[in-house]
Amino acid sequence: MTDSSRLRIAIQKSGRLSDDSIALLKAIGVKLQIRDRLLIAHSTNQPIDLLRVRDDDIPGLVMDGVVDLGFIGENELEEKMLERQAASKRSEFSTLRRLDYGGCRLSIAVPSEFNYQGIQSLNGMKVATTYPYLLERFFIEKGIDASAVMLTGSVEVAPRAGVADAICDLVSTGATLEANGLKEEEVIFTSKAVLIQRGGSLPPEKQALIDRLLPRIDGVMQAKE
Ligand code: PRT
Ligand code: ZN
């Protein structure tokens, strides 16, 4: 793949975290030449390679030690951690920084005409989601007897399509829920993008590079406050 002496960073190829993650790397002085179709992007002034993948793959790439660092939403990270735990897979990593973008919440929403009377109203419901592990954990913690229906997309249309009674999906402005006749009732997880590092020790030069980059990230975030 790439020269293993170079720091490998996994980043979302195209999606809500891509632009902000690339902007952050550029702001801390990492020059990048990104060609849209390519999986790998090399820095032209630092020993850094970017692996551009779907965000779903990033937690596993870090936890399996395929890459050294990854930019990922906490929602995806936590879901994948629970999934790996259920499969008795190790999920070693450390969170280096919580970043100032990618903010959203994972919420349960019900059709607006539904007479929601608190969390007990969820009992017996089918709830469509892309995050079954986070949702099941919430049900268990709250003692709710409901089931998660896994959908990989178009979660917000599930109640109208008769596939589920409610949904559990990411929300930022709330416009998508409103457009689909749904109202947000329970926030089950709040999320931002984070920078994570794989478990185990890194070669000294790689660790030294990370240790030089982190204060620059702090500086960039402080300058925006
Ligand atoms: O292709 P790939 O698998 O890489 O991308 P993806 O489609 O799985 O993810 P993407 O790019 O949509 O989101 C990546 C990450 O961005 C998420 O895992 C979150 O950490 C973060 N994020 C922040 C969001 C949102 N805000 C968000 N609003 N991810 C998704 N949404 C969607 C939500 O699912 C819903 O469809 O936006 C819609 C709701 O937005 P509002 O503003 O109408 O409430
Ligand atoms: Zn994804």
* 161 Cβ neighbours under 8 A, 6+ residues apart: none
Kindly report, residue by residue over 105-134, the tens digit of the pLDDT.
Answer: 999 999 999 999 999 999 999 999 999 999
| 168 Cβ inside 6 Å of ligand 1 | no
Mean pLDDT, residues 182-201 taken together: 98
- Say if residues 110 and 185 touch (Cβ distance below 8 Å): yes
Instruction: With a cut of 90, say whether residue 225 has pLDDT above it.
Output: no
* pTM confidence score: 0.97
Kindly report, residue by residue over 134-144, the tens digit of the pLDDT.
Answer: 999 999 999 99
| 186 Cβ inside 6 Å of ligand 1 | no
Kindly report, residue by residue over 40-61, the tens digit of the pLDDT.
Answer: 999 999 999 999 999 999 999 9
- Closest atom of ligand 1 to CA, residue 16: 11
- pLDDT tier, 1 (very low <50, low <70, confident <90, very high otherwise): low
| 51 Cβ inside 6 Å of ligand 1 | no
User: Among all ligands shown, which has an atom nearest to the Cα of 156?
Assistant: 1
Kindly report, residue by residue over 168-181, the tens digit of the pLDDT.
Answer: 999 999 999 999 99
- Say if residues 58 and 70 touch (Cβ distance below 8 Å): yes
Kindly report, residue by residue over 67-95, the tens digit of the pLDDT.
Answer: 999 999 999 999 999 999 999 999 999 99
The CA distance from 202 to 137, in Å, is 33
Count of C-beta atoms within a 10 Å radius of residue 195 = 21
| 107 Cβ inside 6 Å of ligand 1 | no
* 98 Cβ neighbours under 8 A, 6+ residues apart: 74, 192, 193, 194
